[in-house]
Chain A
Amino acid sequence: MSQIKIVNLQKSFGDFTAVKNSNLKINDKEFFVLLGPSGCGKTTTLRMIAGLELPTSGEIYLGDEEVGMLRASERDIAFVFQLFALYPHMNVKNNLSFPLKMQGYTRDEIKTRVEEAAKLLRIDHILNSNISSLSGGDRQRVALGRALVRRPKAFLMDEPLGTLDAEFRELMCLELKKLHLDIGATTVYVTHDQLEAMSLADRIAVMDGGEILQADEPAVIYNKPTTKFVASFIGSPGMNFINIDQGISNEQSTLNIEGTNFTIPKQHEVSKGKKNSFGIRPENLSLTNEGGLKGSVFGVEYLGSRKIVTVKTNVGEIKVKTDISTNIKLKENIQVKPSNNNIIIFDGETDKSLKSEFIN
């Protein structure tokens, strides 16, 4: 196992730049998730680490070795594809032993390793089955097994749970996490599903438009997003943004919106532009009868344990996550105010969060 480092990595397809000048360091034994909407460059980044695409410029280190221009077959990494890419003309056992055959292991060694991996993934009872007869979950396990048998330097996974149904995905998520704990392999995992990312990752890198916007632990990404995009992409529903049409001065700790003064974390950065916005997560807001932003209830969604209330105010729609017991009717007049100080001001020019007491 080893760490992975990418330095100033760039990839262009003709005029289109898929990955822009990216830098990342993935630690040994870490479960690292590349998260972003489709077309953000996460899969391209992964494919460059795998050697399926060659970078336009930049370096990729696997351990201490620079592998950027090496062929995939020379890199000693394993890749789990979204559609599994199990060889349909071979049975499960041959799929698992296929990578080992190339590396010149003896028949006994191959047998031992295949059985070991099969046992770990609980597919030892289907070793002689055909791929076409397997369920989605078993195919997934075989694909993981094929990656596992080689004991490579790193595992790369491209939305491996994407084709499974929701219920099964959750189960496989847990299994993947457990597997990672058992074998402690450096893993880079690509997904567009933030829940998957949150539940699996040691660290997440959020990408958009070919750039890595933020790479950190899930809790930090969620609570202290450094850009407006990260804030809106993570969380369900995403963060509320209120345009405040005013500059932010250093040490500022209150903000007047629609005639009401709100306490904000003490700001450590100045923004003279007028297009700034005020960001707050739905669970950090509460409904009140006074001292908040006035509005009327526009929609109520039941999520089982919680309710999402959408309030239409003069500054736009605001989503509030409330307790299930909150009794609220549509079109009811209500006010919304922050219930704590987890508030981020985003600079209108750069879309970056401004440094404050809360975020630095």
Chain B
Amino acid sequence: MDTSRSYLEPSSFSKKLAATIIIVYAVVTLIPISWMVMTSFKNVNSAISYPPEVFFEPSLEGYVNLFTNRSRQSKEYLDSLPPPDNWYEELVRSREMVITGPSKFLGRYSNSMIIGFGSTFASVFLGALAAYAFSRFKVPLKDDLLFFILSTRMFPPIAVAVPIFIMYRKLGLGDTHLGMIILYTVVNLSLAVWLLKGFMDEIPREYEEAAMIDGYSRLQAFFKVVLPQAMTGIAATAIFCMIFSWNEYAFAVLLTQFNAQTAPPFIPTIIGEGGLDWPAIGAGTTLFLLPVMIFTIILRKHLLRGITFGAVRK
């Protein structure tokens, strides 16, 4: 009998099976994403060619179209122009168009950044303070309050869209960064409080007691001793909050138009001349995907520890 292997370790067959399942699953989920990324590097014609082209000559046309506004011009007019100054000008002119200015994409994208990171920071910061209070202090009606906080999450947010729309208009918060940050923070806060309370509960009180005896106030102890130890929880919570605010579409459509419009309602409006400009849409969604992906990869180490945190008592 082979005794070199622990009984707890999976056999090589089940390892292979698991690997196969994971690979198949990964391929299935990655196909649409890789198709999207590929589309962003195609030109307008190869994007809609049939049968679809898997191998194609890469082009940055989608990205150029995403970042610029263009107008179609006559051949004579184009010929009368001086030679193009740069590669993207040249690319646009080969399609018988000229660049008339930058598109709104960059502005929408930075709105998404400001609102996404702003509301994530606010949710995590406020959530951590509330979670700490719930975890450590005798709060009257603690259980009811916690349930109330959770119950705000049970309500589909879109059900209150009309009241919020009217409220925001009266308060002058409609189409402002602050308004969107507040709105997303409110939605995320319940999740943040609950997630972080779990993490805070796991941190022994002795740490902050030690800090308080060492001469620190409770708030100082919270920042210097409790928060660094709740880092895994904070990372996990931040990712969840970020994903929500980054992807949120319905309220963004309803409440923002010019000033604070985020990328999700903007991307579908990228319509080229004479049909949908698929490469530009592909480019927009690819760029839209990047920040959350990078954010998650940066925090991945914490996230993995965060999800399994507290599963085993030390």
Contact = CB atoms under 8 A, between A and B. Distances in A.
Contacts of A51: 212-213
Contact of B229 (A52, A73, A89, A98): A89
B217 A85 contact: no
B213 A88 contact: no
Dominant secondary structure at the A interface: loop
9 contacts: A51-B212, A52-B213, A73-B213, A73-B216, A79-B210, A85-B206, A87-B207, A89-B231, A99-B214
Given A73-B214, A102-B216, A146-B210, 5 more contacts: A71-B212, A73-B213, A85-B204, A89-B228, A150-B214
A78 B207 contact: no
A102 B215 contact: yes
Interface in A101-127: 102-103
A324 to B, nearest CB: 43
Dominant secondary structure at the B interface: helix
Contacts of A71: 212, 217
A146 B214 contact: yes
Contacts of B212: 51-52, 71-73
Interface in A57-100: 71-73, 75, 77-79, 81-83, 85, 87-89, 98-99
Given A73-B215, A89-B228, A89-B229, A79 B209 contact: yes
B219 to A, nearest CB: 11
Interface in A264-282: none
A50 interface: yes
Given A83-B204, A85-B204, A87-B225, A98 B209 contact: no
Contacts of A72: 209, 212-213
Contacts of B228: 87, 89
A303 to B, nearest CB: 35
Interface string B231-275: 100000000000000000000000000000000000000000000
B207 A73 contact: no
Contacts of A77: 213
Contacts of A75: 213
Contacts of A85: 204, 206-207, 209-210
Contacts of A52: 209, 212-213
A83 B206 contact: yes
A44 B197 CA distance: 26
Contacts of B216: 73, 102
Interface of B: 204, 206-207, 209-217, 220, 225, 228-229, 231
A73 B211 CA distance: 8
Contacts of B225: 87
A150 B213 CA distance: 11
The residue in B212, B217, B220 that gathers the most chain A C-beta atoms within 10 A of its C-beta is B212
The residue in A51, A71, A85 that gathers the most chain B C-beta atoms within 10 A of its C-beta is A85
Interface residues of A, number: 23
B12 to A, nearest CB: 34
A267 B93 CA distance: 119
A52 B205 CA distance: 11
The residue in A72, A79, A83, A89 that gathers the most chain B C-beta atoms within 10 A of its C-beta is A72
A103 B215 CA distance: 7
A99 B215 contact: yes
Contacts of A146: 210, 214
B229 A88 contact: yes
The residue in B215, B217, B220 that gathers the most chain A C-beta atoms within 10 A of its C-beta is B215
A68 to B, nearest CB: 16
Contacts of A73: 212-217
A77 B211 CA distance: 12
Nearest to A50: B213
A72 B213 CA distance: 5
Contacts of B229: 88-89
A99 B215 CA distance: 6
A79 B206 CA distance: 10
Nearest to B221: A73
Contacts of B215: 73, 99, 102-103, 150
Given A87-B225, A88-B229, A89-B229, A78 B204 contact: no
Contacts of A87: 207, 210-211, 225, 228
Contacts of A78: 213
A111 B231 CA distance: 29
Contacts of B209: 52, 72, 79, 81, 85
The residue in A75, A98, A150 that gathers the most chain B C-beta atoms within 10 A of its C-beta is A98
A98 B207 CA distance: 12
A102 B214 contact: yes
A180 B214 CA distance: 20
B211 A98 contact: yes
Nearest to B212: A72
A310 to B, nearest CB: 39
A51 to B, nearest CB: 7
A79 B210 CA distance: 7
Nearest to A102: B215
Interface string A190-204: 000000000000000
Nearest to A81: B206
Contacts of B214: 73, 98-99, 102, 146, 150
A77 B204 CA distance: 21
B231 to A, nearest CB: 8
